[in-house]
A and B are shown apart, each in its own frame.
Chain A
Amino acid sequence: MTAPVPDDVMLAVRGLEVRFHGEEGVAHAVNGVDLTIRRGETLALVGESGSGKSVMSLATMGLIPTPPGRLTAGEILVRRRDGSVVDMRTAPERVKRTIRGNEISMIFQEPMTSLNPVYPVGDQIAESVMLHKGVSKAAAWKRAEEMLDVVGIPDPHRRVQEYPHQMSGGMRQRVMIAMALACDPSLVIADEPTTALDVTIQAQILDLMRRLQRDFGMSILFITHNLGVVCDVADRVAVMYGGRIVETAETRTLFKAPGHPYTRGLLASVPRLEEGESGYGRRLYAIPGTVPSPLIRQTGCTFASRCDRVIEACHTAVPPLEDVSSGNGLPPHSLRCIRWRDADVAAAVR
C-alpha cells in the first residue's frame, strides 16, 4: 500500500485529509495534501489565513487534538535517524513522543506565549534534552548553555538562568530556536517564526536560521504568509489555498514564472519597494472576494469563485495537481489548474 520513500526524503506527506467537527458543521481544513522535503532542504508552505497551513504543521507533529480534529485519510511518513520510516498518522502515541522534540521539532510564532513564564529558559531547553537523550540534569543544562551560545545569545552562562520576561522578543525567539535544535533534529517545522518580530530583528533571525541549517544540515518546513520571507529562505515553495496545494515549484521558478491564477494574483498584490520610481498612486492588483469558508464543501476548484480565468468546467471537478514541466528537462513545477495549457500560462511556466 505504501510506496517506498526515497532515501534522501525526510518527510513525505501523501493524500492527507484533516477535518474538524464543530457545532457549525465539519470544517475541511486539509483536503488531500502531498508534500516532500529532502535532506537539508527548506520547503516554504505559503498561504493566507484559513488556507490550512498551520493545520499541516500540527498534523505533521501528531498534535491535532482529537476530537474535534480527525485525520481522515493519507499518510505522514517521517524518516527516522536509524533510516526507518514511520507514519505519524497511525503511529502509537508512545512512538510519536520519542519523535516529537527530538527528531522533529517545532518553532512557534509567538515566543511570548510559547515559553513557560515560571521557569528559567535553561530549564525549558534542558527538559527535552533530559527526556530524549537520557542525560543528567547538569549535562542537560550545559547543553542548554551551549545552545544559547549557538543561537547568538550573549553571556549564555548568565542568560540560561533568566526567565522569558527578562528577554526581548528577538531573544525569546532565539531561545525557541535553541530549544528546537537542542536534540539535533533532522526536521524542523517553523510556523511563522518571524511574523511577530520587527523587520530588523526578523532579518537577524532569518540569518541565524540559514547559518544553523548550514551547520546542522536539518530540513526545514517553513510556514509563512510572507512572500518576501519565502523568497529569502526557501529552496522550494508550495502554495496552499483552501486546504490544497495549488502550486509547487523551486523558489526561483515560482517567483519568476508563477502559473496558478492564485499564485499570480498573490504575487501581484504584494506591495514592493523597488518597482518603478515611486509606488505613489499606483494600483495594487487585488484578488476580488475572500477566502471561502472551510465549512462549505466545494465541488470544483476552491479558487473558482475569485478567479479571473474561471470557466464552466472549473466548477464541476477538483483539478488534479499536474506536472507542467515534463519533457523540458526543467525542475518539477506542478499546478492545480485545468487552464494551465492556455497559451499564456504555458508560455510563462516554460
Chain B
Amino acid sequence: MSPQPSVNTAAAETGALVQISGLQKHFPIVRGLMRREVGRVRAVEDLTFSLKAGEVLGLVGESGSGKTTAGRSLLRLVEPTGGSIRFDGTEVTTLDTGTMRRFRRHMQMIFQDPYASLNPRKRVRSILGTAIDLHLPCSRSERDDRIASILEKVGLPADAMNRFPHEFSGGQRQRIGIARALSVEPRFVVADEPVSALDVSVQAQVINLLQDLRRDMNLAMLFISHDLSVVRYLSDRVMVMYLGRVMEILPVASLTRPRHPYTRALLSASPEPDPDQKRERILLKSDLPSPANPPSGCVFRTRCLHAAPACAAAVPALTELAPGHLAACDRLTELA
C-alpha cells in the first residue's frame, strides 16, 4: 500500500478547499540552436480565487484566454511559473513528483475530446483500473466491483468494462472519461470543456449527469467552457478570462447582468434560440491580440468600446462591486 499524503484539515475552518493565489504560467518562446529565450507567452497572469467543498466555479473564455492552461496548472499537468495552489491546507506547488502523483487522487481532470483522451487499445476495465491501482489498490474482485459501481453512476452498464472505447458513442465515451476521473473519489475536479464536442441532445444528458454527480459526491469543480449558457447550468459562480487575466467573477444569478465590458460583449454575442429575445448586440472590434505581446494596462482595451487613454497605464485591479461580484475595469463607475 502506498502511503497517502496527509491532508491538513486546518484549512477546513476557513471554508476553502482550493485556494489559488497569484497563479502564473508563462511559456518561453525559444529560438535557434542555443534555445535562447526571445519572449514569453503570458498564458495565465495573477489568477486568484478559492473554492469551497462542493462548489462549482465556471471558467469562461474564448480561445487564447488561458482557461485551459489555468485548469492544467491547477493540477500541475503543466508546471505553474509562479503563485500558490493550496488544497485543503497543503501547498501543492512544492510537492515532489511522487507525492504529487499520489496527491492527484484528490484532484482529477475530465478532458474535452472523448475520442482523443481514451486509449483505443485498452478495455474500459483497464482505463478505469489504472487510476484505481495507483490510488486505491485493492483485490481484483474489489476493483471490478468499484469499476462496476462507478460505471453505473455515470449511466453505463457494468459489462461496459469489457469493451473498447471505439464501441461507444461520443456521449458514452465522455461518460467513461467522467468515470475515470471520479473512480478514485476525488474532492476536486477540473472539467475542461467536457460537453463541447457533443451534439446538443447528448450534451444535455451529460450536463444533467454532472449535476447529479456533483451533488451526490459533494464535488468541488472548475468547469471550463467557452459557452456562457452551458456554464450557467452547473456553476455557483462564473469567472471570465481574457488574454490570461480575470476580467470578472460573478454569482451565477447575476450572469445576465454583468458589469465588465468584455463579459457584456460575450453575453450579447451568444445566440439564443428565441425569436423574441432581442438582446442588444455589441460587436467587438478586430481579433484577440497575441498573448506573447499583450497590450499594456488593461489587456482588453484594444477591443473595448469604452477604452480611454488611461486604460493603457495600469492593469486594473479586481474590485468587489457587490458580495461575490468582482470586476477588473477602471471605468465601471462611468459605464454604469
Contact = CB atoms under 8 A, between A and B. Distances in A.
A313 interface: no
A280 B169 contact: no
Contacts of B255: 273, 278
Given A198-B63, A231-B274, A269 B287 contact: no
B63 A228 contact: no
Most buried by A among B169, B233, B265, B281: B233
A349 to B, nearest CB: 16
Contacts of B227: 199, 271
Interface in B144-192: 169-171
B271 A231 contact: yes
A273 B208 contact: no
A265 B201 contact: yes
Contacts of A198: 62-63, 226, 288
A274 B271 CA distance: 11
Interface stretch (A9-17, A114-122, A215-223, A250-258): A250-258
B69 interface: no
A161 interface: no
B283 A203 contact: yes
A291 B200 CA distance: 12
Contacts of A199: 62, 226-227, 266, 269-271
Contact of A231 (B211, B235, B266, B273): B273
A201 B271 CA distance: 12
B324 interface: no
A77 B92 CA distance: 65
Given A171-B287, A271-B233, A287 B62 contact: no
B253 A274 contact: no
Contacts of B211: 281, 283
A200 B200 contact: no
Secondary structure call for the B interface: loop
Contacts, number: 140
B273 A227 contact: yes
Interface string B240-257: 000000000000110110
Most buried by A among B62, B63, B284, B287: B287
Given A278-B253, A286-B201, A273 B267 contact: yes
A311 interface: no
B199 interface: yes
A270 B230 CA distance: 9
Interface residues of B, number: 47
B270 A228 contact: yes
A227 B77 CA distance: 36
A80 B268 CA distance: 39
Contacts of A269: 200-201, 203-204
A284 B284 contact: no
Given A170-B287, A200-B62, A271-B227, A278 B252 contact: yes
Contacts of B265: 200
A269 B230 CA distance: 11
A272 interface: yes
Contact of A273 (B229, B253, B288): B229
B320 interface: no
Interface string A260-290: 0000011101111110011111111111101
A325 interface: no
A87 interface: no
B62 A225 contact: no
Interface of B: 62-63, 169-171, 199-205, 207-208, 211, 226-230, 232-236, 252-253, 255-256, 265-275, 277, 279, 281, 283-284, 287-288
6 contacts: A204-B284, A225-B199, A256-B275, A270-B273, A273-B267, A277-B253
- CB-CB nearest 3 A-B residue pairs: A228-B271, A269-B204, A198-B62
